[in-house]
Amino acid sequence: MNLGLISIIIHKYSSTNNYSYFAAFKHHFMKKITGILFGITVLVFNTFANVLPVVPISLALKPAINSKVTYVISDYGSTITSMNGLDMHSVANTTTEYTLDYIGEISGLNCFKVVLNSIKIHTEIFGMSVDINSDSIITDTSKLNSNANMIYKRLTNKPFTIFITKSGNINSTSGTKEIYQKAFIKTELNSLAPIYKNMLNERLLTSGLTKLFAYLPNKPVEVNEKWVKNDSLALTGMHLNLVTTYSLDKLNTRLADISFNSVIQYEGPNQTTLGIASTVKVSGEINGSCEVNTSTGMLNSFSSSVTTDTKMKMRETEVPMKSLSKTTIFIK
């Protein structure tokens, strides 16, 4: 703007008769200048804010001592098995409830006292269904279901300890083997031990717990950053090692949203639940997501789906199987 013109305008409106006009002009002029300066300030702030470094977050286990949390883990699985031109459908639903009591850190490991509160299993195969419930009342020990209920009942409400590494792996356990051995202490159950040995062992007490900590990264991470971990998947008669990619998708002051994916590839020997030797070739994929409490590092919720395509060969017979399983975890 021309400075001479500004001087004339100021002189004109600064006379005694036109003082009010000058005041109005001055107010309008200052308001314009203030608006321009405010706009420049906002623009500069936003420009620098967009290039400020994002502070990585450390998703580590840090719950309060003696804090307790109860998780409900539900697994649903369905399988189509083809044999001699016939398709056979099977379903297996399992719901377990665990209470974890944080003891503290010992020798660099996070320690939890764990109690399996209950376990419920529903299976359908070859047109038959079997229901096992650790909470049910045992009335007839001559029936297979009743004997199975007794075994599972003896696995519940018995405390054991798990030791977790900083990156979320179960390093070791204490007390699980003793709990399993006592489940078969009664004479009437000894005959069932060979039947259950391939599907009911001390790993049953901890296999579901691996999902509660697997997401933990071994370093601080930022939003949209990925990390890779070696995980495991328990399938019937097999324990597979997996490479899983995790991603921190969203973060706020309370929750971290994490997604994950892994590819399943396995070929090798296998033993069925009935003890029959076979060779299998498995391919598939896992996709899922979870919410993590940022202040404690503990899981808040979890969901995943697993799809597998399996070819099992027993002697000269090849049996193809297609499976879908889903898992959900929530705090009770």
**C-beta separation of 194 from 186 below 8 A:** no
**Same-domain check for residues 221 and 87:** yes
- For residue 323, count other CB atoms closer than 10 A to its CB: 20
pTM recorded for the entire structure: 0.77
Number of structural domains in the chain: 2
- Average pLDDT on 111-127 reads 92
What's the pLDDT score for residue 202?
62
Domain-located, residue 227: yes
What's the pLDDT score for residue 148?
74
Strand runs labelled E in 134-276: 160-164, 170-174, 226-235, 238-251, 255-271
Boundaries of domain holding 192: 68-331
Size (the chain), residues: 332
Q: Does 174 have pLDDT greater than 90?
A: yes
Q: Does 322 have pLDDT greater than 90?
A: yes
As a whole number of angstroms, the distance between CA 312 and CA 111 comes to: 39
| Digit-coded pLDDT (tens) for 220-259 | 999 999 999 987 776 656 667 788 999 999 998 899 999 9
pLDDT grade for 25, boundaries at 50, 70 and 90 = very low
**C-beta separation of 283 from 265 below 8 A:** yes
What's the pLDDT score for residue 76?
94
As a whole number of angstroms, the distance between CA 171 and CA 165 comes to: 6
Q: Does 39 have pLDDT greater than 70?
A: no
**Same-domain check for residues 197 and 277:** yes
**Same-domain check for residues 37 and 179:** no
Angle, vertex CA 171, rays to CA 170 and CA 176, nearest 5: 75
| Digit-coded pLDDT (tens) for 48-83 | 333 334 578 888 999 999 999 999 999 999 999 887
Domain-located, residue 54: no
**C-beta separation of 247 from 228 below 8 A:** no
Cα–Cα nearest to 8, from 20, 25, 32, 27: 25
**Same-domain check for residues 272 and 177:** yes
